[in-house]
Chains A and B, each alone.
Chain A
């Protein structure tokens, strides 16, 4: 089981799911129509490290963070 958390303005509580890689996470999240709109512009981190490939393997207890567009300063 992994946890997916939604940062900043997405405003959604964390969810848990079974997933062996980020492709599984993508399929699951796209089922949520509201969330699917965010995914086009969101970056992804696993256990607080940014990742850039869907093949990234996940293990039990991993935490996936969804990061929407930023604007510091």
Chain B
């Protein structure tokens, strides 16, 4: 797992991941790129990350991937990420395509629901929590 201040250099990261598994004999490599869309007058999105729990979340997915003979990788931005650049990329390598296609779907969906990352719209330099687009994590409401 890789975390960066600001927008991701997607080509460099994907290229490096591809090189790192070039001789691992995986038959399928499926990358996913999340790009910041220009909408609602935002200049950028901005992200807070709680790393200790994100590390644990990612370890769980590394174990799930391993059970299926696959591996997962991800990179995410911290702080402001301008529109039309990338804040999140991930990838799955697996021996066959079917495992990779299913795993990237599950991995990205659980990422959206349970990775401890908070998103803010940046409008006129102000950071506004994207409350309406956020999802309560598993087990939420315990203390209510």
Which residues 54-96 in B have Cβ within 8 Å of A in the complex? 56, 76, 87-88
Q: Please report A residues at the B interface, Cβ cutoff 8 Å.
A: 7-9, 22, 25-26, 29-30, 36, 39-45, 48-54, 65-73
CB of B136 within 8 A of chain A?
A: yes
Which residues 102-144 in B have Cβ within 8 Å of A in the complex? 108, 111-120, 129-131, 133-144
Q: How many residues of B contact A (CB 8 A)?
A: 37
Residues of B within 8 A of A72 (CB): 47, 49, 76, 88, 111-112, 115, 117, 119
- Chain B residues touching A, majority SS: mixed
* Chain A-chain B contacts (Cβ-Cβ < 8 Å), number: 117
Which 5 A-B pairs give the minimum distances between C-beta atoms?
A72-B117, A8-B118, A69-B134, A43-B137, A9-B129
Residues of A within 8 A of B134 (CB): 68-71
